[in-house]
Amino acid sequence: MPTMIDVYAAPIMVRHLLSLILVGLLAACSLSPPAGGSVALAPQVSLQLPTSAQLGEAIEVVQLVTASHGGDGFTFEGRLSVTPAGLILVTTDGMGRRAMTIRWGNGTLEVDKASWLPASLPPPANMLADIMLMYWPVEVLRTHVDGASVEADGTSRSLRRDGAVMVEISGDADPWNGCVTLHNRVWEYRIHVVSSRLPS
């Protein structure tokens, strides 16, 4: 299984390629394309991807996403649309080019990659799982996470196993018009998302 360290190991020769690497980075911990919608969050911990309808509302937001591991940080822009019918996430690189489109609906994950993206990039199943951990209701996550408990305290939530925090999330009272940060303590990466909700 590739790790976050594996993704960062290759030397970076051109600055504008950083955002392309991020697209692979966020999916690097996925063991394989999600069979039946199950995504690994940590060893022996997985998320059965909830449906878009289980979010409980329709959402259209633009987001600035920064991922970091060690001393490295990478940023990309995204537009996330969630309706009862499905989820669509469109990401762009630092030059405004569409990098990837992710669709989740009817139990199917589809990924469209730009031709200039490396063919070796794994499907971004963990990217989708992290979004759901940050935004889907805690009650939904509790019925979809296997191998860990889902705890919540105010605007914070966490995944715990045998008392140890594996993933922790904190954010503003309105995460769709504010910030959310996810820290995966097992694979040691952070994702910081600044969102702005678009009028419906």
pTM for the whole thing? 0.80
Quick one: pLDDT at residue 34?
A: 59
Contact 51, 148 (CB under 8 A): no
Beta partners for 170? 181
125 pLDDT band, cuts 50/70/90, is confident
* Cβ 148 vs Cβ 45: under 8 Å: yes
- Per residue, what are the HEC states of the chain? CCCHHHHHHCCCCCHHHHHHHHHHHCCCCCCCCCHHHEEEEECCEEEECCCHHHHCCCEEEEEEEEEEECCEEEEEEEEEEEECCEEEEEEECCCCCEEEEEEEECCEEEEEECCCCCCCCCCCHHHHHHHHHHHCCHHHHHHHEECCEEEEECCEEEEEECCEEEEEEEECCCHHHCEEEEEECCCCEEEEEEEEECCC
Instruction: Report the mean per-residue pLDDT for the chain.
Output: 81
Question: pLDDT grade, residue 21 (50/70/90)?
Answer: very low
Of the pLDDT bands very low, low, confident and very high (cuts 50, 70, 90), residue 79 is: very high
